[in-house]
Amino acid sequence: MKPTIADLRRDYTRDGLLEDQTPEQPMSLFARWFEQAVETETTEPNAMMLATVDADGQPHLRTLLLKGFDERGLVFFSNYDSAKGRQLAGNPRAAMNFWWHDLERQVRIEGRVERVSAEESDAYYFSRPLGSRLGAWASPQSQVIAGRSVIEQRLQEVERQYADSEPPRPPHWGGYRLLPELVEFWQGRPSRLHDRLNYRLVEGRWLRERLAP
């Protein structure tokens, strides 16, 4: 008999998360957890879910790759004219979720989003492989197209255009930084009594709270 959804149950026993093990600033703990994820996870530990909201209040969710973080916030890149770009232009707030399966950990982050500087966008763009740089020119991200051949034809045109020169960064492509206002660290524990430590930014200072699982 094939297993059902109800049969897919796992008890989390790997680790715990106590207040005396955590720093005052959430990004310090995030850096520690991210480093451990890089060492442990087998597939793209920088993968995350990004949620945005459109003008009608409809949430939208997709998987992206984190491309940098520091005490200021977390950075990702996209086409400014994409669906997420338009949604962020209308409502510059978003939520991220990281799930690190092997470590039995999850991190939720909410806050305001702003574009990174042109210099930061340039630096990342020119670090990308040539194919990815050309792809940023070729794809009208999120727009309806007639078929795969449309993208292939556009890529060929861009390749010819920049056959003898480096493609510049497209003006419609660049980075965003999510400025955290809430960061929740979730560590799986037995019997579904998970550890949840929540950091909230209150009047410029981080307040740490334990949440019931």
**Is 135 within 8 Å of 114 (Cβ atoms)?**
no
Sort 116 into a burial class: Cβ within 10 Å, 0-12 / 13-18 / 19+. buried
Q: How far is CA 154 from the centre of its chain?
A: 28
Residues identified as active-site: 192
Nearest to 185 by CA among 97, 112, 111, 113: 97
Residue 109: CB atoms within 10 Å: 26
- φ/ψ bin of 191: left (φ > 0), alpha (ψ from -120 to 50), beta (otherwise): left
What is the structure's pLDDT at 4?
Answer: 84
CATH class of 9-126+172-210: mainly beta
DSSP 19: G
Q: How far is CA 147 from the centre of its chain?
A: 28
User: pTM for this structure?
Assistant: 0.93
pLDDT in tens, the chain (213 residues): 777 887 777 888 889 999 998 999 999 999 999 999 999 998 999 999 999 999 999 999 999 999 999 999 999 999 999 999 999 999 999 999 999 999 999 999 999 999 999 999 999 999 999 999 999 999 999 998 999 999 999 999 999 999 999 999 999 999 999 999 999 999 999 999 999 999 999 999 999 999 999
129's CB contacts (< 8 A; 6+ apart) are none
Helix (H) or strand (E) holding 195: strand 195-202
Annotated binding site for FMN: 62-67, 77-78, 84, 106, 141-142, 186, 196
Helices (H), the chain: 26-40, 83-90, 118-125, 130-138, 148-161
DSSP 83: H
Nearest to 23 by CA among 138, 185, 155: 185
Sign of the dihedral through C-alpha 205, 210, 212, 213:
positive
- Distances 26 to 6, 23, 60, 144 between C-alpha atoms, Å: 35, 7, 26, 40
List the chain domain ranges.
Answer: 9-126+172-210, 129-168
Annotated binding site: 9-12, 62-67, 77-78, 84, 106, 124, 128, 132, 141-142, 186, 192-194, 196
What is the structure's pLDDT at 128?
Answer: 97
Helix (H) or strand (E) holding 181: strand 173-187
Annotated binding site for substrate: 9-12, 67, 124, 128, 132, 192-194
Q: Could you please report the per-residue DSSP string of 22-51? A: S-SSHHHHHHHHHHHHHHH-SS-TTEEEEE
